[in-house]
Chains A and B, each alone.
Chain A
């Protein structure tokens, strides 16, 4: 699933490890989401969106809309 995670993260000047620690997931999860190889669960998507203070659909654009 396409997402803007990498651009939001780099905008804050964070590393993947720092973001992973901030939302309590492994760095592998962040790498896989950014590489669009893994679709996060709804709770994880909400947690990421809340961290960047954006709506979920801003971070994960809805391709069906």
Chain B
């Protein structure tokens, strides 16, 4: 059993990754068992279940972080996303993949990430106002 806070954090991170991977493997195994190879409602349901597990673990993991670690996560995700976007943009331009399916996939991902970020940022501002926007204050 972990004794120190750091050991607890390491244990939580390992559980987070392992449980997510196990959920994904079970989902894939079930799809094979049921003969579902690509897409459809069963795949959608399994994916949704796997992400529900991932989300619950992510919330628990985030709540257990101290504020410096949270800043570290936010900082690395922010700058990591910007740098990776720049790399992929240069890659697409350099390799002449402008109209490929790959670029469509990247574009879809970026648009959804940006959309969700803007949505959460809006939620963040409202939260900072204690949702007084809604109460008319």
Q: Is the CB of B4 within 8 A of A38?
A: no
| Contact residues in B for A28 (Cβ distance below 8 Å) | 68-69
Q: How far is the CB of A1 from chain B (nearest CB, A)?
A: 13
Chain B interface helix/strand/loop/mixed: helix
| Count of residues in B whose CB is under 8 Å from the partner chain | 8
Question: Which residues in chain A, 34-57, are within 8 Å of chain B measured between CB atoms?
Answer: 38, 40-41, 43-44
Tell me whether B69 and A29 are in contact (CB under 8 A). Answer: yes
Q: How far is the CA of A40 from the CA of B68 in the complex (A)?
A: 7
Chain B residues engaging chain A, CB cutoff 8 angstroms: 4-6, 9, 66-69
Instruction: Give A residues with C-beta under 8 Å from B.
Output: 17, 20-21, 24-29, 32, 38, 40-41, 43-44
